[in-house]
Amino acid sequence: MNKPLLKDLPYEISTLEPVLSKELLSLHHDKHHAAYVNNAIATIDKIEKNRITKDFSNQKSLLKDLSFNLNGHLLHDLYWNVMRSPQDDNKPSSDFTEKLTNEFGSYENFVEEFSRSAVSVEGSGWCALLKNDEKDLVIMQIENHNKLYLTNYRPILIIDVWEHAYYLDYKNDRAKYVSEWWKVVNWEKVEALYQE
Ligand code: MN3
Protein backbone atom coordinates (compact mmCIF):
# COMPACT_ATOMS: atom_id res chain seq x y z
CA MET A 1 0.00 0.00 0.00
CA ASN A 2 1.22 3.52 -0.76
CA LYS A 3 2.66 5.32 2.25
CA PRO A 4 0.99 8.59 3.30
CA LEU A 5 3.00 11.75 2.75
CA LEU A 6 3.00 14.96 4.77
CA LYS A 7 2.52 17.76 2.24
CA ASP A 8 3.41 21.37 2.91
CA LEU A 9 0.52 23.64 3.82
CA PRO A 10 -1.18 24.92 0.62
CA TYR A 11 -0.41 28.54 1.73
CA GLU A 12 2.05 30.56 3.78
CA ILE A 13 2.11 29.77 7.49
CA SER A 14 0.71 33.24 8.37
CA THR A 15 -2.14 33.13 5.79
CA LEU A 16 -4.89 32.30 8.27
CA GLU A 17 -3.96 35.03 10.77
CA PRO A 18 -5.49 36.43 12.89
CA VAL A 19 -8.05 33.61 12.97
CA LEU A 20 -5.30 31.01 13.40
CA SER A 21 -1.81 32.19 14.35
CA LYS A 22 1.30 30.93 12.61
CA GLU A 23 2.54 29.50 15.92
CA LEU A 24 -0.62 27.43 16.24
CA LEU A 25 -0.55 26.35 12.60
CA SER A 26 3.10 25.37 12.69
CA LEU A 27 2.61 23.26 15.83
CA HIS A 28 -0.54 21.71 14.41
CA HIS A 29 0.90 20.84 10.97
CA ASP A 30 4.56 20.16 11.76
CA LYS A 31 4.04 18.24 15.01
CA HIS A 32 0.50 16.85 15.30
CA HIS A 33 -0.25 16.13 11.64
CA ALA A 34 3.30 14.87 11.10
CA ALA A 35 2.91 12.43 14.00
CA TYR A 36 -0.19 10.86 12.41
CA VAL A 37 1.69 10.44 9.13
CA ASN A 38 4.71 8.85 10.84
CA ASN A 39 2.53 6.57 12.96
CA ALA A 40 0.49 5.52 9.91
CA ILE A 41 3.69 4.63 8.03
CA ALA A 42 5.04 2.65 10.99
CA THR A 43 1.73 0.78 11.28
CA ILE A 44 1.63 -0.06 7.56
CA ASP A 45 5.19 -1.40 7.85
CA LYS A 46 4.15 -3.66 10.73
CA ILE A 47 1.08 -4.93 8.87
CA GLU A 48 3.20 -5.72 5.81
CA LYS A 49 5.78 -7.48 7.98
CA ASN A 50 3.07 -9.62 9.61
CA ARG A 51 1.81 -10.54 6.18
CA ILE A 52 5.20 -12.10 5.47
CA THR A 53 5.72 -13.80 8.86
CA LYS A 54 2.05 -14.85 9.09
CA ASP A 55 1.99 -13.63 12.68
CA PHE A 56 -1.35 -11.88 13.11
CA SER A 57 -1.42 -11.85 16.92
CA ASN A 58 -1.47 -8.03 17.10
CA GLN A 59 -3.65 -7.52 14.02
CA LYS A 60 -6.53 -6.00 15.97
CA SER A 61 -4.45 -3.24 17.54
CA LEU A 62 -2.60 -2.58 14.27
CA LEU A 63 -5.82 -2.10 12.33
CA LYS A 64 -7.11 0.20 15.07
CA ASP A 65 -3.87 2.21 14.84
CA LEU A 66 -4.14 2.32 11.05
CA SER A 67 -7.72 3.61 11.16
CA PHE A 68 -6.82 6.26 13.74
CA ASN A 69 -3.59 7.52 12.17
CA LEU A 70 -4.46 7.26 8.48
CA ASN A 71 -7.79 9.00 9.01
CA GLY A 72 -5.97 11.56 11.15
CA HIS A 73 -3.70 12.26 8.19
CA LEU A 74 -6.47 12.38 5.56
CA LEU A 75 -8.76 14.61 7.61
CA HIS A 76 -5.93 17.08 8.26
CA ASP A 77 -5.16 17.21 4.52
CA LEU A 78 -8.77 18.16 3.86
CA TYR A 79 -8.88 20.64 6.76
CA TRP A 80 -5.84 22.58 5.46
CA ASN A 81 -7.35 22.67 1.98
CA VAL A 82 -10.74 24.04 2.92
CA MET A 83 -9.22 27.16 4.52
CA ARG A 84 -7.77 30.38 3.09
CA SER A 85 -7.00 33.92 4.24
CA PRO A 86 -9.79 35.45 6.35
CA GLN A 87 -12.57 37.43 4.70
CA ASP A 88 -15.15 39.42 6.60
CA ASP A 89 -18.20 38.66 4.50
CA ASN A 90 -17.23 35.10 3.65
CA LYS A 91 -20.13 33.37 1.93
CA PRO A 92 -20.64 30.50 -0.53
CA SER A 93 -21.79 31.17 -4.12
CA SER A 94 -25.50 31.68 -4.76
CA ASP A 95 -25.68 28.17 -6.29
CA PHE A 96 -24.23 26.53 -3.22
CA THR A 97 -26.25 28.76 -0.91
CA GLU A 98 -29.31 27.34 -2.64
CA LYS A 99 -28.12 23.77 -1.98
CA LEU A 100 -27.55 24.60 1.69
CA THR A 101 -30.95 26.28 1.85
CA ASN A 102 -32.70 23.22 0.37
CA GLU A 103 -31.14 20.99 3.00
CA PHE A 104 -30.88 23.21 6.08
CA GLY A 105 -33.43 25.98 5.56
CA SER A 106 -30.94 28.79 4.87
CA TYR A 107 -27.20 29.52 4.87
CA GLU A 108 -27.54 31.02 8.36
CA ASN A 109 -29.38 27.92 9.60
CA PHE A 110 -26.61 25.73 8.18
CA VAL A 111 -23.91 27.77 9.94
CA GLU A 112 -25.81 27.55 13.22
CA GLU A 113 -26.45 23.80 12.94
CA PHE A 114 -22.85 23.05 11.88
CA SER A 115 -21.42 25.29 14.63
CA ARG A 116 -23.55 23.69 17.33
CA SER A 117 -22.52 20.28 16.01
CA ALA A 118 -18.82 21.25 16.09
CA VAL A 119 -18.95 22.73 19.57
CA SER A 120 -20.73 19.66 20.98
CA VAL A 121 -18.33 16.98 19.66
CA GLU A 122 -17.53 14.86 22.70
CA GLY A 123 -13.84 15.06 23.60
CA SER A 124 -11.46 15.20 20.63
CA GLY A 125 -12.81 15.11 17.11
CA TRP A 126 -14.10 16.82 14.02
CA CYS A 127 -17.29 18.15 12.50
CA ALA A 128 -17.86 17.74 8.77
CA LEU A 129 -20.28 18.49 5.98
CA LEU A 130 -20.47 15.42 3.73
CA LYS A 131 -22.05 14.47 0.43
CA ASN A 132 -23.07 11.14 -1.05
CA ASP A 133 -23.36 10.08 -4.71
CA GLU A 134 -26.84 11.61 -4.89
CA LYS A 135 -25.30 14.90 -3.66
CA ASP A 136 -27.30 14.83 -0.45
CA LEU A 137 -25.62 16.93 2.23
CA VAL A 138 -25.29 15.83 5.85
CA ILE A 139 -23.53 17.19 8.91
CA MET A 140 -21.58 14.62 10.86
CA GLN A 141 -19.48 14.56 14.01
CA ILE A 142 -16.33 12.41 14.05
CA GLU A 143 -14.90 11.39 17.42
CA ASN A 144 -11.11 11.06 17.51
CA HIS A 145 -10.33 10.62 13.80
CA ASN A 146 -12.42 7.62 12.97
CA LYS A 147 -15.55 7.07 15.07
CA LEU A 148 -19.14 7.64 13.90
CA TYR A 149 -18.11 7.08 10.28
CA LEU A 150 -20.93 7.12 7.73
CA THR A 151 -20.25 4.87 4.75
CA ASN A 152 -20.45 6.25 1.18
CA TYR A 153 -20.37 9.87 2.32
CA ARG A 154 -17.37 12.08 1.55
CA PRO A 155 -16.41 15.11 3.65
CA ILE A 156 -16.27 18.38 1.68
CA LEU A 157 -15.95 20.80 4.59
CA ILE A 158 -14.34 19.97 7.91
CA ILE A 159 -13.24 21.60 11.14
CA ASP A 160 -10.76 20.10 13.58
CA VAL A 161 -12.06 20.52 17.13
CA TRP A 162 -9.26 18.68 18.93
CA GLU A 163 -7.90 21.08 21.56
CA HIS A 164 -4.55 21.15 19.70
CA ALA A 165 -6.40 22.87 16.82
CA TYR A 166 -7.29 25.98 18.86
CA TYR A 167 -5.92 25.97 22.42
CA LEU A 168 -2.91 28.18 21.70
CA ASP A 169 -5.14 30.95 20.28
CA TYR A 170 -8.48 30.42 22.02
CA LYS A 171 -7.61 28.52 25.23
CA ASN A 172 -10.61 26.32 26.05
CA ASP A 173 -13.12 28.48 24.13
CA ARG A 174 -14.07 26.08 21.34
CA ALA A 175 -17.21 28.08 20.51
CA LYS A 176 -15.14 31.24 19.85
CA TYR A 177 -12.76 29.29 17.60
CA VAL A 178 -15.67 27.83 15.64
CA SER A 179 -17.36 31.21 15.16
CA GLU A 180 -14.08 32.85 13.97
CA TRP A 181 -13.30 29.88 11.71
CA TRP A 182 -16.13 30.73 9.28
CA LYS A 183 -13.98 33.68 8.09
CA VAL A 184 -11.33 31.31 6.69
CA VAL A 185 -13.59 28.75 5.00
CA ASN A 186 -12.54 28.36 1.36
CA TRP A 187 -15.99 28.06 -0.21
CA GLU A 188 -14.62 27.71 -3.76
CA LYS A 189 -12.76 24.60 -2.65
CA VAL A 190 -15.80 23.22 -0.81
CA GLU A 191 -17.97 23.75 -3.87
CA ALA A 192 -15.37 22.10 -6.13
CA LEU A 193 -15.36 19.06 -3.83
CA TYR A 194 -19.14 19.04 -3.92
CA GLN A 195 -19.11 19.01 -7.75
CA GLU A 196 -16.50 16.22 -8.04
MN1 MN3 B 1 -5.56 18.26 14.39
Average pLDDT, the chain: 97
pLDDT tens digits, residue range 104-156?
999 999 999 999 999 999 999 999 999 999 999 999 999 999 888 788 999 99
Relative to beta strand 125-131, strand 137-143 is antiparallel
pLDDT tens digits, residue range 54-72?
999 999 999 999 999 999 9
Backbone angles phi, psi at 54, to 5 degrees: 60, 25
Report how far ligand 1's centroid is from the alpha carbon of 165 (Å). 5
Report how far ligand 1's centroid is from the alpha carbon of 194 (Å). 23
Report how far ligand 1's centroid is from the alpha carbon of 56 (Å). 30
Instruction: For 131-158, give the DSSP string.
Output: E-TT--EEEEEEETTTBS--TT-EEEEE
Report how far ligand 1's centroid is from the alpha carbon of 61 (Å). 22
Ranges assigned E (strand) in the chain: 125-131, 137-143, 154-160
Report how far ligand 1's centroid is from the alpha carbon of 164 (Å). 6
The pLDDT, as a whole number, for residue 151 is 85
The pLDDT, as a whole number, for residue 148 is 84
Report how far ligand 1's centroid is from the alpha carbon of 101 (Å). 29
Report how far ligand 1's centroid is from the alpha carbon of 102 (Å). 31
Question: How many CB atoms lie under 10 A from the CB of residue 8?
Answer: 8
The pLDDT, as a whole number, for residue 150 is 81
Report how far ligand 1's centroid is from the alpha carbon of 28 (Å). 6
pTM for the whole structure: 0.96
- Kindly report whether the peptide bond that precedes residue 155 is cis, defined as omega within 30 degrees of 0: no
Report how far ligand 1's centroid is from the alpha carbon of 171 (Å). 15
